Amino acid sequence: MLNPDSPIPLYHQLAERLSAQIRNGELTPGDRIPSEPQLVAMYGIGRPTVRQALDALVRQGLLCRRRGSGTFVCEPAREIDLFSLDGTRAAFHKQGLAADTRIREPICLQRITDTPDNPFSGRQAYFFSRLTSLDGTPVLLEDLYLHPQLFAGIDALDLAGGSLSHIAAEHFMLRPQGGKQSFRIGYLDAGRARCLEVTTTTPLLQVERRLDFAAGRDGFFSRLFCRTEHVVFSQHMGASEHG
């Protein structure tokens, strides 16, 4: 039973009890959990407390509601190591996922008018944008900026299906020497929101990445917008390439 004298709120105790049952296999993906009235009777608590606990687990992606059917244990989210220097294409392929990446805006050399945190703001850079979908659902939007001297002529290469890390290494003899990544909650303009099939008020994981090369600092900048309801984006350190 739950402990009403504990400083831990009852809804949190119930959420942790159900979460533990999922972790240890008592509840498996696809299982229907007891209904709200059943949980009220089982644990001797009020229905608002039960609903608060279930809402918390739904937000965590452990449970999902099906209208008219009940609440079920979700399939484990697929984890993509998006932020190692292996890069995006390699990250999906390492998990055996057939991700489809297409060029949204073709690469071209242009003057960049962007926010001050973009190292190319106010000067020229190669820019292109690409969209990655998984099982027909768009999950990742990337805006990418490349140093015009370090990557001179990259606009003549086919970037649709290739790994950017391999292109940088094989065509330009460039390998990352370091960099910086920042994480925040971001929102998209109307055009980009349509691409990711979200609204302009949908909060997304926004990642900004800078990469340095031996030939120059800030040779690469990207801004990534990630939908996290279908995929868990993680970070494992110690890889060696960017894609």
- CATH fold match for the domains 10-73 and 78-234: no
Please enumerate in sequence order all residues whose Cβ is within 8 A of that of 59, keeping only pairs 6 or more positions apart, or say none: none
Q: Which CATH architecture has domain 10-73?
A: Orthogonal Bundle (1.10)
pLDDT winner (highest mean) among 24-28, 94-98, 156-160: 24-28
What percent of the chain has pLDDT above 70? 83
Q: Which residue type is seen at 236? A: H
Residue linked to tokens 């370091």: 178
Residue 99's pLDDT band (cuts 50, 70, 90): confident
Q: Which CATH architecture has domain 78-234?
A: 3-Layer(aba) Sandwich (3.40)
Alpha-carbon gap, residue 11 to 54, rounded angstroms: 8
**pLDDT at residue 133 in the model:** 87
Residue 238 has pLDDT above 50, yes or no: no
pLDDT tens digits along 17-26? 999 899 888 9
pLDDT tens digits along 37-52? 999 999 999 999 999 9
Query: pTM value?
Result: 0.63
Show me where the domains of the chain are located: 10-73, 78-234
Residue 236 has pLDDT above 70, yes or no: no
Residue 198 has pLDDT above 50, yes or no: yes
